[in-house]
Amino acid sequence: MALFDLKTLNSALEELQQERGISRESVIDALATALAAAYRREYGKRGQIIRATMNPETGDVEFRQAKIVVDKTLVRGPEEAEEEDSSRRSEAEADHRSRFNPEQHIMIEDARRIKRDAVLDEEISFPLESKEDFGRIAAQAAKQVIMQKVREAERASIISEYGQREGEIITGHVQRFERGNLYVDLGRATAILPYDEQIPGERYRQGERVLSCASPAAAQRSPFFQMMIMWTLSAHSSVSAVYV
């Protein structure tokens, strides 16, 4: 099933790779995962495992349902799961095996009728029908994946840039205050001066210039960059505070 215009798709992949450094393979893998999730959400049944395979050469996408090969040591079999006798239900409650789900599991004897050498925990997949109205959903999923990949690439670029500037003085401007924390605009990123890192009694004004020292370790834990303020320059360029 061709869901994407091949020329448009390849153009977008090429642009992402050249301008953002995002590999074609990573976008295609993320897109296939997003399409599988969208298909399951729109048309799937409870417990189904949906896989999507995308061919970047043709724009075709194939959807398949995967079932895990199990036996009665791993799940309570279909007969046990359907047993209505109260004594059997009590026994099942003490049983730590998973309940057999025909949308998610396939018994090994049935799997071996399809694939002779099937083994436990292997996935056996079955093709799913194409949906004519899935094109709109696919386009939305593709847009979201590309935007997410761009955000991830931008964040990685910023972390890499400031990670190389550890201990270096960086200029920013006071942006805002929120719950005692000071936010500093660095241009490509926003830095945070936590309340407990601020100099007692020191006051900062919105828009004033701040010299700070990058702390890249904190950047790995947050989409913002925590900074340690070294000193603040007022609008008149006089040193108003020093933090050592």
Residues 10-47 pLDDT 10s: 888 888 888 777 888 888 888 889 889 989 988 988 88
The tally of domains found in the chain comes to 2
Instruction: Read off the pLDDT of each residue in 137-159 and give the average, rounded to a whole number.
Output: 80
Quick one: 134 and 186 in the same domain? Answer: no
Quick one: 144 and 203 in the same domain? Answer: no
Instruction: Quote the domain boundaries for residue 22.
Output: 1-161
Quick one: 200 and 128 in the same domain? Answer: no
3-state secondary structure 181-197: EEEEECCCCEEEECHHH
Side chain identity at residue 63, one-letter code: F
| Pair type for strands 98-99 and 75-76 | parallel
Query: Taking 70 as the threshold, does the pLDDT of residue 126 lie above it?
Result: yes
Quick one: 110 and 66 in the same domain? Answer: yes
Task: Find all residues with CB under 8 Å of 70, minimum gap 6, and list them.
Answer: 100, 105, 106, 107, 108, 120, 121
Higher pLDDT, 160 or 76: 76
Residues belonging to the chain: 244
User: In sequence order, what are the beta bridge partners of 242?
Assistant: 231
CA–CA distance from 94 to each of 86, 107, 117 (Å)? Answer: 13, 22, 33
Rg (CA), the chain: 28
User: In sequence order, what are the beta bridge partners of 241?
Assistant: 232
Decide if 61 contacts 139 (C-beta within 8 A).
no
- The helix-helix angle for 134-163 and 24-43 (nearest 10°) equals 140
Identify the pLDDT of residue 180. Answer: 82
Kindly report the pTM of this predicted structure. 0.60
Quick one: 91 and 121 in the same domain? Answer: yes
Q: What is the CATH number of the domain that holds 34?
A: 3.30.1480.10
Of 64-68, 105-109, 154-158, 160-164, the poorest mean pLDDT is in 160-164
Identify the pLDDT of residue 163. Answer: 66
pLDDT tens-place string over residues 167-196:
677 778 888 888 888 888 877 777 777 777
Side chain identity at residue 214, one-letter code: A
Query: Taking 90 as the threshold, does the pLDDT of residue 6 lie above it?
Result: no
